[in-house]
Structures are given as C-alpha cells and as structure tokens.
Amino acid sequence: MKFALGTSSKHKMEALVQACSMMGWDNVDIIEKHVDSAIAKQPVDFQWILAGARNRVLFTAESCPDVPCIGIENGIVRAWNVHLDVACIAVLLPDGSWHYSSTPGIEIPEDVVKQAQERGFDNTTIGDILAEIHGCDNCDPHVLLTNGRLRRADLLAQGLYAVFTQIKW
C-alpha cells in the first residue's frame, strides 16, 4: 500500500502508520509532502477545517496523482460556549473519488479559545496558548487536555481508520 500525505507533521505521520497497522497493512510506503493548508493557522468551524484538509490533498495530488492522497486538518468546532478540537480527514483516490471522516472532539477551555482569538487565529493556535501556560507540546495539546490519556496521533489514527474502513480497497 502506498499513500501521499500532505504534511510534515510527525504526529500525522505517526497516525497514518498507526491507522495502517489497525487495517492490517504492513509494508506501507508513505510519501510525505510539505504543503500548506491555505487557511488560517487555527481554523474555526467545520467548513474551514475541511477546506484545509481538502487543500492539503489537492496540493499533494499535484505531484502524486497516482496514489491515494491524504489531508488532515485540526480546528475548532464551536456551539454555544462549547469548543472542541476536531480534525477533518480527506482522502482522494486515483480514480477521483473523495472520502471523509473526522476525529473525536476534545473539549478546549473557553478562556484558551478567547486568548487565541484575541491574538488572531491567523497566527495563533490553541496549542500555542496551552504551551505557553502549561509547557506542553504546542502541536499536541491533546495529551494535556486528556490528562495524559490520548495523544494527537491516537486521535488522528482513529479518524484515519474510520475513513479507511469506508473505502473498498
């Protein structure tokens, strides 16, 4: 099995390896493509999170049209005063078909969201704020938010596994 992943994130790479293992796929070849999501650094609402994932796929597919291309984008989904960190996952197969899933949502404290919003979501993420306050990895605040029980890679692997199970390989 071969994939092109639109990222340079170690967490996303680890998640893809983990999801492939969950599918029983050994000897997976992953082409890592450093591409931008072409959206805010901290996307807010599903449409922007999904747009970021799709953009990563489209930019990756430009140089890897003959392999399944994957894009993953985390962002904030909000309703009332509830804020959840969710990742959207988009997969484009060589036949042109698209497939999607998301990860489980992890609650983000409202005051952290407000601080990031005040600084501007174009250049500040929830992870940046949490790293300043708690000294956690700004790319994996999920460990902090789940009391050490879940890493970002674990959550992303669940989303990747969900999309993989929907595809007739």
CATH number, domain at 51?
Answer: 3.90.950.10
Within a domain: 53: yes
Structure tokens at 123: 């250049």
CB hemisphere CA count around 51 (13 angstroms):
11
> Which residues on neighbouring strands pair with residue 76, listed in sequence order?
44, 85
Which residue blocks in 23-92 are alpha helix, DSSP H? 46-61
Within a domain: 82: yes
Within a domain: 123: no
As for how many domains the chain has, the answer is 1
Within a domain: 15: yes
pLDDT of residue 42: 96
Q: 97-144 pLDDT, tens per residue? A: 999 999 999 999 999 999 999 999 999 999 999 999 999 999 999 999
Within a domain: 119: no
| Domain containing residue 24 | 2-105+150-166
Within a domain: 135: no
Within a domain: 134: no
Residues of the chain with pLDDT under 70: none
pTM reported for the whole predicted model: 0.96
Q: In whole angstroms, what is the distance from residue 163 CA to residue 102 CA?
A: 8
Within a domain: 78: yes
pLDDT of residue 15: 98
Tell me the backbone φ, ψ of residue 45, rounded to 5 degrees.
85, 145
